[in-house]
């Protein structure tokens, strides 16, 4: 799969949402950012990435687990292969402290099993567990490659065991509205069914907005092939196709879940331009906010997106590196 080196799939997505609060800040208001001198609605990259990772589980793909409860995970693995409860507890605690201590660890089932087998080879004697040997176990487990797609896509940094670091194959921008947005406030009341006197039992307010968002996601196929197939990129083409298929489907169905029961922001993609390219990544900045027409924001934003990509391709010539493209919507 060396042929995939320096090739990326770029997803340029336009998605409109009516009344919604897709991603909240620390005071419960929809997140925003200033772009081009005006306030835009924003959904953080980590918000959508989380939902994509959760959606991947429905497409028959092997995934990892992100947890602080590494000791509990390893303890279960040790018990399965013959450790007593006491042995499993002491060994898993020792390994967990070496790997993550009190931080989240992104770990695959294969890695968890390998660490448990390492403890078994030491007769589940926690005193014999060695940090350097544990690092070697991690390296061996990653040879030839990681086998959990979400870890390959989103990457991993393990401060206490840098040999377990994985470079992310997928890059996400924050989703930004292509137009100026001002958050609005909804005032609401709640009534007590047993209350006889007039008036509400509760009053409150919530902020919301509505926006057409631009989302940019880049999938580095060379990095994906390397992570899944090792340095020699031995992952077969059918495997890579399955992983790309699952990622694209998850990208399509994943939806931020904030306030979904009260605002039901369930709008699908309106338009997508997908490019397969070599070279530098290319995000459409929408630096000048789009003005609404009688048809709303979507039609002019599609035109702006297409025009920008066409102009950059014309300007860059062969450096644009386009290998293929596809339009949806």
pLDDT higher than threshold 90 for residue 139: no
- How far is it, in rounded angstroms, from Cα 259 to Cα 22? 7
The reported pLDDT for the residue numbered 235 is 62
The reported pLDDT for the residue numbered 161 is 82
According to DSSP H, which parts of 202-297 are helical? 221-229, 237-253, 260-263
Which pLDDT band, with edges at 50, 70 and 90, does 159 fall under? confident
pLDDT higher than threshold 70 for residue 98: yes
pLDDT higher than threshold 90 for residue 142: no
**SS3 of residue 207 by DSSP:** strand
Q: Which long-range contacts (CB under 8 A, 24 or more apart) does 299-304 make?
A: 301/14, 301/178, 301/179, 301/212, 301/214, 302/14, 302/270, 302/271, 304/178
26-65 pLDDT, tens per residue?
A: 999 999 999 999 999 999 999 999 999 999 999 989 999 9
């Amino acid at each position: 799969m060396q042929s995939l080196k320096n090739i990326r799939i770029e997803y340029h997505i336009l998605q409109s949402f009516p009344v919604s609060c897709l991603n909240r800040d620390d005071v419960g208001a929809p997140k925003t950012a200033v772009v081009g001198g005006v306030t835009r609605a924003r959904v953080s990259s980590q918000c959508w990435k989380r939902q994509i990772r959760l959606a991947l589980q429905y497409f028959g793909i092997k995934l990892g687990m992100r947890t602080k409860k590494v000791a509990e995970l390893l303890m279960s693995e040790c018990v399965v292969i013959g450790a007593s409860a006491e042995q499993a507890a002491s060994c898993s605690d020792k390994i967990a402290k070496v790997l993550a201590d009190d931080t989240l660890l992104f770990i695959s089932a294969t890695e968890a099993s390998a660490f448990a087998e390492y403890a078994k080879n030491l007769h589940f004697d926690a005193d014999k567990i060695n940090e350097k040997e544990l690092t070697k176990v991690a390296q061996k487990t990653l040879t030839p490659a990681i086998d959990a797609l979400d870890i390959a896509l989103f990457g991993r940094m393990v401060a206490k065991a840098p040999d377990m670091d994985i470079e992310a194959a997928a890059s996400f921008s924050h989703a930004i509205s292509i137009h100026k947005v001002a958050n609005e406030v909804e005032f609401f009341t709640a009534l007590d069914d047993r209350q006889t006197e007039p008036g509400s039992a509760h009053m409150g307010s919530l902020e919301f907005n509505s926006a057409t968002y631009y989302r940019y996601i880049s999938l580095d196929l060379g990095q994906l092939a390397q992570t899944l197939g090792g340095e020699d990129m031995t992952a077969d083409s059918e495997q890579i196709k399955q992983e790309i298929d699952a990622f694209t489907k998850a990208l399509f169905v994943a939806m931020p879940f904030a306030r979904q029961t009260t605002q039901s922001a369930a709008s699908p993609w309106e338009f997508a331009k997908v490019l397969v390219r070599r070279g530098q990544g290319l995000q459409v900045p929408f630096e000048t906010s789009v003005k609404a027409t009688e048809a709303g924001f979507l039609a002019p934003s599609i035109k702006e997106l297409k025009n920008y990509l066409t102009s950059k391709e014309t300007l860059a010539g062969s450096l644009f590196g386009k290998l293929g493209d596809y339009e949806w919507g």
